[in-house]
Amino acid sequence: MKQRRLGRGVAIVGAGMSKFGAFPGLATRDLFVDAFQELLASVDKGFNPQEIEALYIGNFSSDLFEGQAHTAPIMADWVGLTPRPATRVEGACASSGVALREGLIAIASGLYDIVLVGGIEKMTDLPTSRVTDTLATAADVTYEVPAGFTFPGLYASMATAYMHAYRATPETFMKVGFKNHENGALNAKAQFGQRIADIMEARKASAIRKGRPVPTWSDEMDFLHDDRANPIIAWPMRLYDCSPISDGAAALLLVSEELARQFTDSALHIIGAGQASDGATHDRPTLTGIPAARHAAKMAYEMAGVAPADIQVAEVHDCFTIAEIMATEDLDFFPAGEGWKAAEEGRTARTGDRPINTSGGLKSKGHPVGASGAGQVVEIWKQLRGEAGERQLSGDIRLGLTHNVGGTGQTCAVHIFERR
Amino acid sequence: MSEKPFTGAVFYEYLNEHKLMGSRCKTCGEVHVPPRPGCAACAGSAVEWVEMSGQGALAAYTVIHIAPTAMIEAGYDRNTPYCTGVVALAEGPRISAQILDVDVRHPETIEIGTPLEIAFIERGEGAARRTYLAFRPEK
Ligand SMILES: [Zn+2]
């Protein structure tokens, strides 16, 4: 494949997000305004939002979730940016990762200098069964869904293929969820920002309050093995292997590299970008990894001129715990079949040599699908600028990566960021 | 074989007759299941219908406890989970299908690589009757 280069450099000079969670009464537009306000406050040297020339908004399915299509112009209107062009970008759970790429391309082409990239989703208005049905529309509705596949079910089937190929066990997956809750507990924006131990204590306290028998879990793994506390969703994926149903929004300010210093002295330069597509899950040569992620990662590494080992922090698409393990292999952080061992050994923890999902990941932070890709970039923005608070990685963190997957890998967008 | 269009609608018409059909490229021989009106391997436009033998092997699976609406209507739920998976057909292509006659209470005993044979599930009454693709371990 021909190596691609950007027409000119592009940098992120502002980033913000709403809290992720379940917010009855708030629509996507309300959450987007929240993210936009935080973005404005994040621009070190300040700026006039009227300088924004275009918007690219990632959104999976406001149509089915909220009964509202055509959402991008509404976002532009609610932050006072009409009549600028506002384009909705749909790539399932990778919608805002792809929106970021579209914003990047628009500036690199020379058409615009200043672009707002957003991501939005409002999922909690629907009952769980209809959320399940809506998410399943990211798979092949003609040929996968009639077999009874759900979205968790598709990833669970990849988990059985992975376990069979590499001798991993369901316990490995539980440890990924455990780790992401440890990180999310340090993130005030997280939907489920509690450690597993905190959740266990809360369950015990609730049982005492209600006069019910108090559970006697010996430790976190005992809790995660409990069919009542951690029910099976699609074996081997249990509740604590699955990212939650969430509402949320995120926003990023992109400018041409020449303008970056007008906004901040510590911009994030987007030095690598890759995107790839694929067919239905059953139609792939391998089920132990995501081919589109491998393609997208290769493109991004080649454009950036960096190696996987150079990346200091990565936010990967852990919609399910198995997905995080496969991501660490698809990104070449570990060889195929070794990702589960690295997770077991704690190498992907905040204190490990290869920290993954310091934000808490989609598992703990929440997964408002169309907002998740932009939300990942917010964490890299914070880590590279030393603004991640209690969960800040130590050392001089200059190189970060985001990996955003749509469906089960029909779309994948990978970006690499450098603070110069 | 007939000249029926190589569409999902016709694929399911054949399935209602208990035939698992794909398309074969007359130029390069590539078989697509489900069928495609053009060949994705060589971009050829001349394709023909071909029936699959119904033999295959289990490539991946899951046992679903939280079911989608359509499967809840078919009688499945948290207490009545079902197995679904990816089947590698003897002819090469892979397809999604429900997996019958496996121990859904002990999913760890279900084995990838198990030889499978085709089965058909009928759901709905009268004009709404429809056949769903399934496989079960070979007897
Ligand atoms: Zn062909």
Interface pTM, i.e. ipTM:
0.96
Mean pLDDT of A127-154: 92
Which domain CATH number covers B128? 2.40.50
* Same domain flag for B30 and B94: no
* Same domain flag for B95 and B59: yes
Total number of domains constituting chain B: 2
pLDDT digits (tens, 9 = 90+) for B20-69: 999 999 999 999 999 999 999 999 999 999 999 999 999 999 999 999 98
Asked if B24 and B86 count as a contact pair (C-beta separation under 8 A), the reply is: no
* Same domain flag for B13 and B44: yes
CB spacing of A287 vs B84 below 8 angstroms: no
B132 touching A (Cβ < 8 Å): yes
* Same domain flag for B15 and B65: no
Nearest-CA distance A203 → chain B (Å):
22
Question: Which residues of B fall within a CB distance of 8 Å from A235?
Answer: 62-65, 81, 107
B84 touching A (Cβ < 8 Å): yes
CB spacing of A287 vs B34 below 8 angstroms: no
Nearest-CA distance A278 → chain B (Å):
12
Residue B2 belongs to some domain of the structure: no
- Would you say residue A1 has pLDDT above 70? no
* Same domain flag for B127 and B76: yes
Question: Which residues of B fall within a CB distance of 8 Å from A154?
Answer: 62
| Residue partners of A7: CB distance under 8 A and separation at least 6 | A108, A109, A110
Mean pLDDT of A330-351: 98
pLDDT digits (tens, 9 = 90+) for A398-417: 999 999 999 999 999 999 99
* Same domain flag for B68 and B44: no
Asked if A183 and A359 count as a contact pair (C-beta separation under 8 A), the reply is: yes
> What is the pLDDT at residue A349?
98
pLDDT digits (tens, 9 = 90+) for A248-287: 999 999 999 999 999 999 999 999 999 999 999 999 999 9
Is 0.90 surpassed by the pTM of this model? yes
CB spacing of A235 vs B62 below 8 angstroms: yes
Full residue range of the structural domain in which residue B18 is found: 8-51
What's the helix, strand, coil split of chain B in %, to 5?
A: 15, 40, 45
Residue B128 belongs to some domain of the structure: yes
B56 touching A (Cβ < 8 Å): no
| Residue partners of B118: CB distance under 8 A and separation at least 6 | B20, B52, B54, B55, B56, B133, B134, B135
The answer to whether A367 is a known catalytic residue is yes
> What is the pLDDT at residue A84?
98
* Same domain flag for B69 and B128: yes
Which residue, A57, A49, A93, is CA-closest to A75? Answer: A57
Structure tokens belonging to residue B80: 């009545």
* Same domain flag for B34 and B90: no
Residue B1 belongs to some domain of the structure: no
* Same domain flag for B86 and B125: yes
Q: Of B68, B112, B133, which has the smallest distance from its Cβ to A136's Cβ? A: B68
A45 C-alpha to ligand 1 centroid (Å): 58
Higher pLDDT, residue A4 or A198: A198
Residue B34 belongs to some domain of the structure: yes
B131 touching A (Cβ < 8 Å): no
* Same domain flag for B63 and B92: yes
Choose the catalytic residue: A181, A295, A317, A367: A367
- Would you say residue A367 has pLDDT above 90? yes
A280 touching B (Cβ < 8 Å): yes
* Same domain flag for B67 and B119: yes
3-state SS, residue B34: coil
B82 touching A (Cβ < 8 Å): yes
> What is the pLDDT at residue B127?
87
* Same domain flag for B64 and B131: yes
CB spacing of B84 vs A133 below 8 angstroms: no
- Would you say residue B130 has pLDDT above 80? yes
Largest distance between two CA atoms of chain B: 50
| CATH topology (fold) of A10-127+244-419 | Peroxisomal Thiolase; Chain A, domain 1 (3.40.47)
Residue B76 belongs to some domain of the structure: yes
> What is the pLDDT at residue B2?
54
> What is the pLDDT at residue A129?
85
Q: Where are the domains of chain A?
A: 10-127+244-419
Asked if A380 and A313 count as a contact pair (C-beta separation under 8 A), the reply is: yes
Q: Of B65, B87, B110, which has the smallest distance from its Cβ to A232's Cβ? A: B65
Report which secondary-structure segment, H or E, holds A220.
Answer: helix A220-225
